[in-house]
Amino acid sequence: MIAARFARDGAAVLVSDIDEAGGEESVRLIAAGGGRTAFFRADVRDERQVKDLIAFGERTFGRVTVLVNNASAPFRPGEPLDHWADTVQTDLLGAMFATRHAIDAMRRGGGGAIVNIASISALWHGRRSPGGAPAYDVAKAGMIRLTTALAGLAESDGIRVNCLAPGWIATHGPREYWESLTPAERLERGVPSKLLTTTQVADAVVRLATDESLAGRVLAWWSEDEPRLVKFGDRGYAEFVDLPTRSLKFEV
C-alpha cells in the first residue's frame, strides 16, 4: 500500500522483498495503474545486497530521493527469546544498512527523505497484559533512536529522517485476531477498539517523507487516537511516580 501510494502521487517506485512472487505482484499492480516501478530482490540482513539495491535504484531511476524502511521478520510473541537475532538483523540492522547507503546516494542526488517504521510497542514501559516480543520491541525502539540521532542530516545534507510508530494495523494476522475477540475481550486484553487501515499508514508515511518542516521526528499513532508527534528532545517518559517507601534491614 505504501509503494502504491507513492506511485499514485507520481513517484517512481523500487519495490524490494525476499518474497519474489509478492514483490513482482506489487510491481504488476503499480504498473497496471500507470505507475513507474521495478523490483529488486534483496535480503536486508545482508549489507552487500542492500548496497546493490540502492545502486540499482540509482541506475534505474537516476537518483534515490526517498527510502522507506519497512522490512520486518515474522512476529513470534509466543517465543520470546527465540529467533531474536533474525528479528534484530531484519528490523534494525537491515534498516541501518539501508539508511547508510541511501544517505550516500541522497548526497549524490542533492538530498532526500528517509522514513523508518517502528511501533508503539517501542514506547510501552512495561505491559499491563501479556504479549509482545522482546526482540521486536528492541528493534523498533532502535528505529526510533536511529531517527532522532540523525535529525542533523536535514541541515547538513538536506536529508530528513523521520519515523512512524503505528499501533495495530488491519493486516493479515492482527485483523484476524482482532475480529476473533468481543469488545469486552479487547478491553480486557489491552487490544484497541479499532485498527489502523493500510491507507492511513501509507498517508502518514507520505506526509513524513514530503513535509519539509519535519526532521528527526517520531509520529505515534495509537490506533484509537489521532496521530501526534513526540515532542522533539523529549526525555523519554512524560510521567513519573515516586519510589514506594520500605524499611531497609541490614544484617550485622
Task: Note the pLDDT tens digit of each residue in 190-242.
Answer: 899 999 999 999 999 999 999 999 999 999 999 888 999 999 988 877 777 78
Question: Where residue 248 falls among pLDDT bands split at 50, 70, 90?
Answer: low
pLDDT attached to residue 247: 61
pLDDT attached to residue 201: 97
The predicted model gives 101-116 an average pLDDT of 98
Catalytic residue among 136, 195, 216, 221: 136
Q: In the predicted model, is pLDDT for residue 138 greater than 60?
A: yes
Strands 112-117 and 159-166: parallel
Q: In the predicted model, is pLDDT for residue 124 greater than 90?
A: no
pLDDT attached to residue 144: 97
Q: In the predicted model, is pLDDT for residue 154 greater than 90?
A: yes
Q: Give the pTM.
A: 0.92
**Which residue in 205, 175, 174, 197 sits closest to 2, CA to CA?**
205
Check: CB of residue 38 under 8 Å from CB of residue 15.
Answer: yes
Please tell me the CATH code under which domain 66-229 is placed: 3.40.50.720
pLDDT attached to residue 170: 92
Check: CB of residue 133 under 8 Å from CB of residue 82.
Answer: no
For residue range 44-77, list pLDDT tens digits in order: 999 999 999 999 999 999 999 999 999 999 888 7
> Which amino acid appears at position 241 of this protein?
V
The predicted model gives 132-157 an average pLDDT of 95
The predicted model gives 23-45 an average pLDDT of 96
Residue predicted with more confidence, 143 or 188: 143
CA distance 158 to 152: 9
pLDDT attached to residue 173: 87
Residues 6+ apart with CB under 8 A from 14: 37, 38, 39, 40, 53, 56, 57, 60, 61
pLDDT attached to residue 127: 79
Q: Count of CB atoms within 10 A of residue 130's CB? A: 8
Q: Would residue 177 show up in a list of annotated catalytic residues for this protein?
A: no
Calculate the CA 247 to chain-centre distance.
45
Q: Count of CB atoms within 10 A of residue 193's CB? A: 10
